[in-house]
Structure 1
């Protein structure tokens, strides 16, 4: 007959508890790895968005024009043309003038003008402005203004009399608007007068 001691299994369950603990530990490591992956992915996304926002902020703050001079042309005691000489503000990226609007407001009239790149030398009164580079340092396309370039905007078809306030806004697609304001003199003494 067999000894019953040898057939009886031990009632020690410590090994089963060790396997359960190991399964829970592995599950926790897997959950932590997935959470770390999500956190790293989110951090990369936030970093890219912050870089994009920073670049947009720099463009919005630094972009724009510095007006050097404003000259009016007089015919028959009326200011008929205004020429604005300008360059980019310090730190401004290149600006495509095709994306720039010019607003001209007088006591009699208010117009928004755009650039016609196909005929930028011949502005149409109350519709388009003329644009010419007077110094082309960067050698970009004819209507792209870069650092160091000098340019002039020509506004035609005006009829501004004596002692009138004129407000001109040069508005790029993004960045700072340039504001030119002046009051015409009480009499015009020559064909060309400096206004600002």
Structure 2
């Protein structure tokens, strides 16, 4: 009599579980790789933007002029009554340099606005003069009605590297310059003391800088935050026609 043998098969599913785990692991690795690539790309873009922003902020903060002082000059009336000088400040003489950390500044791109509280003149550097000579430029400015309300002139005091030229006025670190703004009025003197007699026909700038006058000068730069200098002229005139108005 034959034995009744039954075939038995064991169902072992552990291999399937191992493959499933491997698939999940590979998927996690792929997701992590994609996420890492996105993070690396994003961090690179943020770093570039941060560097650009830092550079722009540095320019905004430091790329401007340091106004050391401002003198007001009264014209000579050439008369014997009183002190012989006009009753308005007819020329502003501004001594300036670059602030620490500033890069070179092209004065030809700077716009000045000067106001006496009632009249405002917007000025740019006088770079179209046919003479590469400061005295000629100053004469060209003060003897022309249109020019005195449109332009300012400048002259270097210290320029060791020779970067500042009258036709290419670039200010670099260590340079000191004078900026001149014509503020003569209808009450101005017939000539400006310490300057050529050729300046005896100064024109009216429509500004009236007499005593107790609030004056605002705004410097707008090509890059950087505009700066404002404000002061009030003295309550009385000094004996000397040149008066320190700021600081």
TM-score (norm 1): 0.81
Report the equivalent of 1:99. Answer: 109
Q: Tell me which residue corresponds to 2:17.
A: 17
Which residue in 2 is equivalent to 1:51?
51
- Distance in 2 (CA, whole Å) between partners of 1:22 and 1:176 is 64
Match of 1:143 in 2: 169
Deviation at 1:95, TM superposition (A): 1.6
1:107-139 superposed Cα distances (whole Å, 9 cap, x missing partner): 441122122434494542111211222221343
SS in 2 for 1:170: strand
Q: 1:70–1:194: 8 Å Cα contact kept in structure 2? A: yes
Corresponding residue number in structure 2 for 1:174: 224
- 2:181: which partner in 1? 155
Q: Is the 8 A contact 1:63 1:176 kept in 2?
A: no
1:66–1:178 CA contact under 8 A, matched in 2: no
Q: Distance in 2 between matches of 1:36 and 1:97?
A: 48
Counterpart position of 1:193: 243
Count residues in correspondence. 192
SS in 1 for 2:148: coil
Residue 195 of structure 1 deviates from its aligned partner by: 2.4
Query: Whole-Å Cα distance in 2 between the matches of residues 12 and 155 of structure 1?
Result: 98
Q: Unpaired runs of 5+ in structure 1?
A: none
- How far the C-alpha of 1:68 sits from its partner, in A, is 2.3
Give distance in 1, aligned partners of 2:225 and 2:120.
Answer: 22
C-alpha contact (below 8 Å) 2:116/2:209 kept by paired residues: no
Q: Which runs of 5+ in 2 are unaligned?
A: 1-5, 78-85, 142-146, 186-207
Of the structure 1 ranges 154-163 and 183-192, higher mean CA displacement relative to structure 2 is found in 183-192
Say whether the 8 Å CA contact 1:65–1:178 is kept in structure 2.
no
Please provide the CA RMSD for this pair. 2.8
The 2-side partners of 1:167 and 1:80 are apart by 15
- From 79, 91, 96, give the equivalent of 2:89: 79
Residue-by-residue CA offset, 1:21-68 (whole Å, 9 max, x unaligned): 212211110110010011111112112222222222222222322222
**Secondary structure, counterpart of 1:111 in structure 2:** strand
TM-score normalised by L of structure 2: 0.66
